[in-house]
C-alpha cells in the first residue's frame, strides 16, 4: 500500500500544477472570464506560498 498523501503528491508536482493553473488562467482571460482567471491564480498563489519556508 502506498504511503502517498495529497500533500506529498502536490509537493512533488508543484511546478507542474502551478504551470497548469496558469495555463487555465490564461485561457480564461482569453475568454474574457477575468474573475475565473483570478480564482485559479489565487489557488496557485496559495500553493506557492504554502511551499515557502516561514
Q: Distance between CA 46 and CA 54 in Å, rounded?
A: 14
CA distances from 53 to 48, 49, 50 (A): 10, 8, 8
pTM: 0.84
Residue range 2-29: mean pLDDT, rounded: 94
In this prediction, what percent of the chain has a pLDDT beyond 90? 78
pLDDT score recorded for residue 1? 57
Amino acid at each position: 500500500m502506498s504511503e502517498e498523501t495529497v500533500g506529498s503528491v502536490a509537493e512533488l508536482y508543484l511546478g507542474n500544477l502551478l504551470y497548469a493553473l496558469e495555463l487555465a488562467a490564461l485561457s480564461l482571460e482569453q475568454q474574457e472570464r477575468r474573475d475565473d482567471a483570478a480564482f485559479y491564480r489565487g489557488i496557485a498563489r496559495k500553493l506557492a506560498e504554502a511551499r515557502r519556508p516561514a
